[in-house]
Amino acid sequence: MNLDLLVAALSAAKDVRAWSLGAAERRRLSLGVKDRQAGGPHAPIDLAESCAARYLLVWADGKVSKGSWERRQIEREAPAAIAAARLHAFDDPDAAQVAQPGPVPDVVLFDPRAAAVASGDTTLLAERLAQIRTRVAEAGFATWSGAFSSTLTEARVVNSAGVDVRERATAAGWHVSFEGELSDGHSGRGPEEDAAFSARLERAAALVRQLSGPAASAPAGEVPVLLHPNVVEEYVLSTLFDNLDGAAVAHGESAFRAEQFGAPSAVLREDMELAVDPLQPLRAGSYRVSGEGVAARPAAFLSRGRLVSPVLDLKYARRLKLPPSPIPYAMDTVRFGGPRAAGLPEALDGSALFVLHVLGVHTQDAVSGDFSLSAPQSLRVDAGEARGRVRATISGNLFRILRREDTLFVAFEGETTPGLLVRCHVA
C-alpha cells in the first residue's frame, strides 16, 4: 500500500488544518473445524487480504471528519476521497486532536512462525490438528469443533504533527470445544510453544470429561464460588473496563465519577490493582503506538483500590483534562490482582461451585454491579474433588464482592488472568 500519495495530498490540502492516519495491510489464513471435519464447507480454509486506513481530518474551520478509506481511495483517488470526507464534517472540539511525536518504545510484535502460516504454510496447523485428534481419540470424544488463524500486518500511523511509525506485526490464535461443551484456546502475536499448547489442550479435555459425568445437586444460598479466569475476563474485567471507559466517565454513565480519579478514598478493597503493560513481548495486547499515534506505556487504572485513571483516548483525555492512557487491547497485557494469589488446590480445599462459563454477560447492569448470570457449565467441588456437573444461576453485586476481605485471587496454570474465589448467591 502506497500511503505516501495520500499523505502528500493531505499535506497539500489548504483547507485541512491537521490530520491523522492509521493504515493496515493484512494477510490472514484461517482454518475451521466443524464436527471433526477440518476445512469443510461449514468451516473452510480461507486466505484473505485486506487494506484500509482510518482517518481523522481537522478542517480549517475546526470541524472534524472521521472514517476509513480503502486501497483504491488511498492510492488512486486521494483528492476525491478527501473532498468526500468534507461532506460529513461535524463540530466536536474535543475530537479535533492529533498525537504529538515522542519516543516510541521497542516491543516485539513479530513472530516468523505466525507470518509463515499467514502466508500459506500450513505445516504447523497440520501438526496441531494431529495433536487434537490424538487427544480426542484418547478421551473417547464423539465430536469436536474449533478454529485456527494467523495474521501478518504491515501497519503505519502517521499524522500532521510529525508522528510516523511503521510496524510489521503478527497474530496467531486457536480455540477448540469438545462434545459441544467448554471452549478454550489462546491468542497472541505468535503460536504457543508445543508444551504450552499440549498442556492447555489437556486441561480443556479434562474439564470436559468432568462436565460429561453424572450431574450433582447445586449448593444453595450464599456459598463459595470459584470463577475461572475466562469468567473473570468475560464478566469481572469487562464490567470494570466498561466503568473505566473515558466516554462513560465523561458522560456520567459510569459507576465512577470523574472527581474520584486521583482521590484518596478507595472504591475497591485496598490491596486490589488493575493495570496494563502493552510493552510485554508477543502478547495479543502488545503494541508500540495506539491507532491514534500515542506511544504505549505501562499504566495503572486502579492502585491500592483507588482510582488512578480512566481509559482515555485523545478526545476524552482533553475533555477530562487528563493525559491519554494506554489502551488495553487484549486481556493478556492486563494485570488484575493483589499481593497474594492462592493456588488452585488451596482454593478448592473445601466445598465450592467451580464456574467455568457464564451466559448473559451483556444483559447485566455494569453501573450498579448487580448481576444474575446463568452458569450451565459448573462443577460441584467437595474436599478438592469434582463431584459432578451443576447447572446453576449465580447472583450478587460485583462491587461488594471486590470490597470483601474474603474474596481471593487464584492463580491458574497457563493463564495471565487470575481466577476469583468469591461468596455469592447460588440457585
| pLDDT surpasses 80 at 303 | yes
Q: Residue 262: how many CB atoms within 10 A of its CB?
A: 11
pLDDT at 348: 85
Span 392-408, pLDDT tens digits: 999 999 999 999 999 99
350 — pLDDT class (breaks 50, 70, 90): confident
Span 146-173, pLDDT tens digits: 999 999 999 999 999 999 999 999 999 9
CB 376 within 8 A of CB 357: yes
283 — pLDDT class (breaks 50, 70, 90): very high
Q: Are strands 221-227 and 352-359 parallel, antiparallel or unpaired?
A: parallel
| pLDDT surpasses 90 at 340 | no
pLDDT at 312: 98
**Quick one: 143 exposed, middle or buried, by C-beta within 10 A (0-12, 13-18, 19+)?**
middle
| pLDDT surpasses 90 at 346 | no
**Quick one: 263 exposed, middle or buried, by C-beta within 10 A (0-12, 13-18, 19+)?**
exposed
pLDDT at 106: 97
213 — pLDDT class (breaks 50, 70, 90): confident
pTM over 0.75? The answer is yes
pLDDT at 395: 97
Give residue limits of the domains in the chain: 4-209, 215-427
198 — pLDDT class (breaks 50, 70, 90): very high
Q: How far apart are CA 64 and CA 15, in angstroms?
A: 12
Single-letter residue type at 332:
D
For the chain, what is the mean pLDDT? 95
pLDDT at 207: 94
Per CATH, the number for 4-209 is 3.30.2290.10
- Measured at the CA of 382, the angle between CA 384 and CA 369, to 5 degrees, comes to 95
Q: How far apart are CA 249 and CA 1, in angstroms?
A: 38
Share of the chain above pLDDT 90, in %: 89
> Grid coordinates 479535533 are at which residue?
96
pLDDT at 63: 98
